[in-house]
Amino acid sequence: MKILIFTKNWLGDVLFETPAIKAIRQNYPSAHLVCATPLRCAEILKRNPYVNSIIPFDEKTSHRSLKAKWDFVLRLRKEKIDIGFLFHRSFTRALLLLLGGVKQRIGYATKGRSFLLTKAVKITGGKKHQVNYFLDLLKNAGLRVSVDPCCEFYFSREDEQKVSRFLQKKGFDTDFLIALNPGGNRSNKRWPARYFAQLADMIAVRYPCSFVVTGNQADDALATDISHFARKGRFCSLCGDTSLGELGAVFSRCRLVISGDSGPLHIAAGVGARVLALFGPTDPQLFSPKGYAKSTVIRSDSRAGYAMNSIKPDRVLETIQREKLLERHSR
């Protein structure tokens, strides 16, 4: 049997889907599981033990044209898919599964696409976390769901060794490492760089720690700002220098990861790191980190645009100390 899972488009969303992917594997232990996902998300899944293969699909870039979509349909026909699970709510993806000869097509009854599905599931239960949104699709489609609602991210031994060599070369003490992740896909989801610097100063006078600043190449300017504003502590920018697997390996070494709502936040939770999440415009009831280690969320007090600058560094430090987030913990 061959099963295709059509994922959503962003790193965090795909991580939120990993408990459901695990549940599908438990229901079909001998099936070949294929994930159709954008290339930027492929690294989330390529080492996932429940996934057998990946087919790139990105309607915004590589599959914008009708020809590219038809080529994808032909690929599906060649694959001979028995069951397709649509975690994405789009009409187009449901149509592609139908044209691609997928025998059973399971998804939520959204975007007027119910007639394209063999099992169209109604959304029930009101507001729910995205992890439960995907798990409930499977439950209401008749699957047995007994997994923990925790995201999982996997990295390789090679990723771990590369990170170890890099940190040793920088002379960093990896016994007490704190990650600061200042980026985010929207500016209003980012905590100000000067606040990260002020918090780092307050932590550094209390704990014998070192800081790594993580993110992509575009976040390097934020890392520079943080090290410029900070007066204490040791900093190392990894922005743009790590693959997603290597980033996961970095987070696995950290005593704490401090981040706004972003893909790296959920990668950190997925590797079992303790995380402190700073939320502004997005709703933690829907998008809070879900990992096996402790996750703590601070949300903006300001209702006017949910301004991130209303979360002051002293409030964050108070939360860190009250919740004992910098104490040693086992995973």
DSSP letter string, 220-275: HHHHHHHHHH--SS-EEE-TTS--HHHHHHHHHT-SEEEEESSHHHHHHHHTT--E
CATH number at residue 203: 3.40.50.2000
Q: Domain check: are 135 and 252 in the same one?
A: no
pLDDT of 108: 97
Summarised one tens digit per residue, pLDDT across range 25-74 is 999 999 999 999 999 999 999 999 999 999 999 988 889 899 999 999 99
β-sheet bridge partners, residue 278: 260, 298
Question: Is the pLDDT confidence value at 93 over 70?
Answer: yes
pTM equals 0.93
> Strand order of the sheet with strand 275-279?
235-237, 210-213, 177-181, 256-260, 275-279, 295-299
β-sheet bridge partners, residue 257: 179, 275
Give the rounded percent of residues in the chain with a pLDDT score beyond 90. Answer: 81
Averaged pLDDT score across all residues of the chain: 93
pLDDT of 306: 63
End of a domain among 107, 140, 173? 140
Q: Domain check: are 132 and 232 in the same one?
A: no
Q: What is the mean pLDDT of residues 249-270?
A: 96
Q: What is the mean pLDDT of residues 102-126?
A: 95
Q: Domain check: are 71 and 165 in the same one?
A: no
Do the domain assignments include residue 148?
A: no
pLDDT of 249: 96
